[in-house]
Structure 1
Amino acid sequence: MEYINYGEFVYKNDELYCEDIPVSQIIRNVGTPAYIYSKKYITRKYLSFSDAFKEVDHKIFYAVKSNSNLSILKIFAGLGSYFDANSIGEIERVERAGVSPSRIGFSGVGKTEEEIEFALSNEILVFKSESEEEIILIDQIAGRLNKKALVSVRVNPDVDPHTHPYISTGLAENKFGINAADSLDVFRRCSRLKNVILDGIDMHIGSQINNPEPFVEAVSKLSEIFFTLKGEEINLKHVDVGGGFGIKYKTEIPLNIIATANKLIPLFKKLDCEIYFEPGRFLTANSGILVSKVLYSKKNMNKHFIIVDAAMNDLIRPSLYDAYHYIQPLMVLNGKKDIYANIVGPVCESGDFFAKERVFPLMSRNDLIAIMSAGSYGMVMSSNYNARLRPAEVLVDNHSFSIIRSRETIRHMLYDEEELLKG
């Protein structure tokens, strides 16, 4: 098989390193399964993204949903990032990472009254709203609290991002945003509300977009709405492009952010307003891996199965989306025969797999593997299915590493239920 370097995960002397530390050294201290992240990679990706758009006034709202560990959020806070949150829990996480709520945008298609009141009371920066009914509710709650709410409206531009159906969010058939054809009337009506200040127009057309053209098409459509409203003296202060910037999982060519910026900046300059971005996966996916240990190897009929100690409860993307993650041993296994194998976990589901019919060297019990590109939508989507314990999380910073979330214990998992049983 081919051994591939991803960002700060590089093979040196036939062994996988994260920055300046052998991954195997980390695992000797924390065990498996474990998520490992590179601080250097996150920092570099954020700064290069911001630099690509330096010609226009912009804010980067890191998408908290992609990786919400407090230590990861703290890295972004130190870089000057804003944050895109989708729930009270995500707002709380950002605040507990030491971030002012004035740096938080609140997204989501189904905000509850409780969440809206919480966000208003905490004085977040802006609500990113997805329906007229929601905006009216924000106005009512803001009036009751004697506050003014900055609101931007998510418009669905009906642009096909050519990505997986589950992560396509900008087509007319998707649940997100307001139909572009209806958006002008929504802006007009909501501009008359007393406790809402219309601040911007938003979009998010999907995830894993590796071509600039869908962004160009969508921004062009939003620009038409922006200028029509401006002609009616509804002056918006920002345009939010959303996220969805594609990365490398397998052999795909990741989105070239400089080439994308070169195509978008002329459109942004015509708008002459602040531009918001909401990258998540683009900044963190290839900052992280999930390390797992081989438990057993066996053959059923003509299929070879490598059973590892990580499972779908630790990383559900392959089971949920049939998502591809490159998988490779931590040590280069020279001289081992290549075989076609399935890498599977211990959970009682046939859908508990990480790879199907791929070429791997013949691996033995206790060999370690790295599941690449696991820094986004990994730990945040983990669960206790089969009453399995969630893995540890580790952050590497040059020559040192720190545990940023301890491996879950039985006590952690059962504490609340046991207390309730006591009455």
Structure 2
Amino acid sequence: MPLSSSYTDRLYPVLENISNHFNTPFHIYDEEGIRNTCKDLREAFSGIEEFREYYAVKALPNPRILEIMKDMGFGFDCSSITELMLSRGVGGSGEEIMFTSNNTSPEEFDFAEASGGCILNLDDISLIPKVPNMPELICFRYNPGARRTGNDIIGNPTEAKYGVSHDQIIDAYRQAKERGATRFGLHTMLASNELHYSYMVQTAEMLLELVEEISEKLQITFEFINIGGGLGIPYRPEQEALDLAAMGREITELFTAFKAKHSYMPGLYMESGRFVTGPHGALVVKAINRKDIYHTYVGVDACMSALMRPALYGAYHHIDVLGKNMDGETETVDVVGSLCENNDKFAIQRTLPVITDGDILIIHDTGAHGQAMGFNYNGKLRPKELLLRSDSEVELIRREETAKDYFATLEFTEQRLKL
């Protein structure tokens, strides 16, 4: 949804000062809001004997943000060597890290095992013999096949490249057990930006039923299930927020019933990213040009290299104009960047207050999959990142890219292979 009133109440009165000091464009994140969401997650699942959120590093891979997650008692969900490095760099180690990759290379397996290891979450049955040293604790990502996902980001699981199929899942655990695994977890990731909490409850129920089936056939006990991420945020003002309290209550009831039947309660793990930081970030830009042809275009000083979700998914991001509101004069415009791509648009035919050059625009909900999905096409450089701290100071947590960064990979020792 649009940024919380708590965030805007603290940010907007000082945003012009921040913009003058740091210069636009920049992403700015709200430490207080992030911490409050972390607390809400822990409270919602406080009835589970062991609950842990593994923050999806891919959502916002900034060490300063990961330090907040570590301080809140969260682990880290990683899918690359670089993400493992980031997580270990802020103190994550061992079972505080879950490594969920796909098409995993030998180098990734080696790195995951080094420096204290992690929870290895395998994406395919074919990877079992490729694990150099089967760890004591192993997990598999389960793909149940045809199932409603509620959105176009994940799509139909039968067409997704992820996970072990239903027909393979028991044999996968059998093979892992034969290779020496003695502790087990079960994972799935079937949603993205899901606003209907009942879908996540059904996911937990599905995994608990599968745990019963596998345990009975292989005589193994599962230490945890991981229902993945995918908790949604309402990007549009008219959307209802996900009912986290109801979700926590109903999932806790499932776990309590499981314990009554089996005399133990597995842990509940999650790997939310967007839900934790998405609503607590904004891309702040400045209007620098206006063009009136078949549409009216408001050009800003950032492009989709800073936020590609609208171009990639047709995603909606709410926009405010600092110091102006919808009670005054409005107009319908496209808000665009300067990239040589026609889909370089933050908003299409959006009704906004009349914008003039120099106005500051706040593009909402960029605290996940914003800066992280940036790129350098056209030689465009990604903006800086700021943190509005709980003590009301503003901290630079990543500088903007420079031309020197862009050309750095062209500095190398010459190599030639004569054929």
The TM-score, its normalising length taken from structure 2, stands at 0.92
Q: Which residue of 2 aligns with 1:237?
A: 223
CA separation of 1:36 and 1:421: change in aligned 2, threshold 3 A? farther
Name the SS of the counterpart of 1:227 in structure 2: helix
Q: 2:188 aligns with which of 191, 198, 203?
A: 203
Q: Over residues 341-375 of structure 1, what are the superposed CA-to-partner deviations in whole Å (9 max), with x where a residue is unaligned?
A: 10010001101001011101111111110000000
Q: Is 1:294–1:368's contact at 8 Å kept on the other side of the alignment?
A: yes
**Match of 1:117?**
110
Cα distance in 1 for partners of 2:140, 2:102 equals 11
Matched, 1:176 2:162: yes
The answer on 1:186 being equivalent to 2:179 is no
Matched, 1:284 2:269: no
Equivalent residue letter for 1:253: E
| Offset at residue 421 of structure 1 (A) | 7.7
Distance, in Å, in 1 between the alignment partners of 2:77 and 2:347 is 32
Report the counterpart of residue 142 of structure 1 in structure 2. Answer: 133
1:294, 1:365 within 8 Å by CA — same for their partners in 2? yes
Q: Give the match for residue 71 of structure 1.
A: 64
1:244-393 matches, within 5 Å, as 244-250=230-236, 251-269=238-256, 270=258, 272-301=265-294, 303-332=295-324, 336-393=328-385
Are 2:394 and 1:396 equivalent residues in the alignment?
no
Name 1:163's counterpart in structure 2: 151
2:8 equivalent in structure 1: 10
Aligned equivalent of 1:212: 197
AA at the equivalent of 1:163: N
Q: CA deviation at 1:25?
A: 1.5
Q: How do 1:77-88 residues align onto structure 2 when only pairs under 5 Å count? A: 77-88=70-81
Q: What letter matches 1:411 in structure 2?
A: K
Change (3 A) 1:263 1:334: closer
Q: Which residue of 2 aligns with 1:14?
A: none
| Equivalent AA in structure 1 for residue 7 of structure 2 | F
Q: String of CA shifts for 1:237-260, please: whole Å, max 9, x gaps.
A: 111111111112112212111111
In the comparison of the two structures, how many residue pairs are matched?
A: 405
- Structure-1 residue corresponding to 2:55: 62
Is 1:153 matched with 2:151?
no
| Partner SS state of residue 73, structure 2 | coil
Q: Does the aligned pair in 2 maintain the 1:105–1:124 contact within 8 Å?
A: no
1:30 to 22, 37, 41: 22
Q: Which moved more, 1:41-50 or 1:266-275?
A: 266-275
Gaps of 5+ in 2: 260-264
State the shift of 1:181 in Å.
Answer: 3.4
Contact 1:393 1:406 in 2 (8 A): yes
Instruction: Encode CA deviations 1:379-398: one digit per residue, 9 max, x unaligned.
Output: 11111111112101000113
**Cα deviations by residue, 1:221-270 (Å, 9 ceiling, x for unpaired):** 22222112222312111111111111121122121111111111111221
SS at match of 1:355: strand
Change (3 A) 1:221 1:333: closer
Report which stretch shifted further, 214-223 or 38-47: 214-223
Return the alpha-carbon distance in structure 1 between the equivalents of residues 44 and 329 of structure 2.
Answer: 45
SS in 2 for 1:399: coil
* One-letter amino acid of the structure 2 residue matched with residue 18 of structure 1: L
User: Which stretch has the larger CA shift, 247-256 or 361-370?
Assistant: 247-256
Q: Is the 8 A contact 1:142 1:149 kept in 2?
A: no
Q: Look up the SS of the partner of 1:319 in the other structure.
A: helix
Residue identity matched to 2:138: V
2:262 corresponds in structure 1 to: none
